[in-house]
Amino acid sequence: MDTTAAILLRKTKLTETSLIVTWLTEEHGRLKTVAKGARQPKSRFSGVLDLFFECEIQFVRSRKSELHALREAALNEPHEGLRLDYKRVALAAYFVELIELVTEPDHPSPELFDLLKRGLGFLNANPAAMRPLLHFEAELVRLLGIQGQEGVTPAVAIGRVYHRLPTARAGLVKMISGS
């Protein structure tokens, strides 16, 4: 059984009672786990599995697939302040989309984990604005080593290397630049 710090990126219904939970972990990178029984009212995962939650998780690796079994999840940081307004949630979701775009399953990247943790922590305490969006993109580009030529923005550099940016970016920029 493996134990690691993790940030919940995505939840998907698997069955009537179970979820597929995608995490960015400090030690194992992006991984997917099955949370059996998580959708039941008296589940041991009740109140622990929500977007952007930072948890300490225990999971058992699958030998057959990249879908591992989640055994335990202990909530460390719920980022309650992040949920105070839609703009913060939208910017946090954009950060997660960028992380999903640039990471591979089961490929450790502690520096990207730390970047996402810091980004969510900032939004937990501060309103959404252009400055944190641009800072997150710039740090991501720096950590990935894909800085563009002079005059090329980090967003353009990401788009060139990964052939796209999350589609939500344009609307997000419009929404938060007016604040």
Contacts of 70 (CB under 8 A, 6+ apart): 21, 33, 34, 35, 36, 45, 57, 58, 59
Residue 179: what pLDDT? 47
Q: Where in the chain does DSSP place strands (E)?
A: 2-13, 19-25, 29-35, 54-60, 67-77
- Domain endpoint, select from 77, 97, 131: 77
Q: Which domain holds residue 172?
A: 80-177
Distance CA 158, CA 170 (A): 14
What tokens does 111 get? 């520096």
Residue 150: what pLDDT? 75
- Domain endpoint, select from 47, 77, 107: 77
User: Structurally, how many domains does the chain consist of?
Assistant: 2
Q: Is there a single domain that holds both residue 106 and residue 150?
A: yes
- Domain endpoint, select from 77, 95, 129: 77
Q: Is there a single domain that holds both residue 84 and residue 151?
A: yes
Q: Is 66 helix (H, G, I), strand (E, B) or coil?
A: coil
Residue 148: what pLDDT? 67
Contact 102, 144 (CB under 8 A): yes
Q: Is there a single domain that holds both residue 104 and residue 18?
A: no
Q: Is there a single domain that holds both residue 59 and residue 93?
A: no
Contact 56, 7 (CB under 8 A): no
Mean pLDDT split into 10-residue runs, the chain, 179 residues:
94 93 95 93 89 95 91 95 94 97 93 97 96 96 85 89 91 84
Mutual angle of helices 154-162 and 130-144, in 10-degree steps = 50
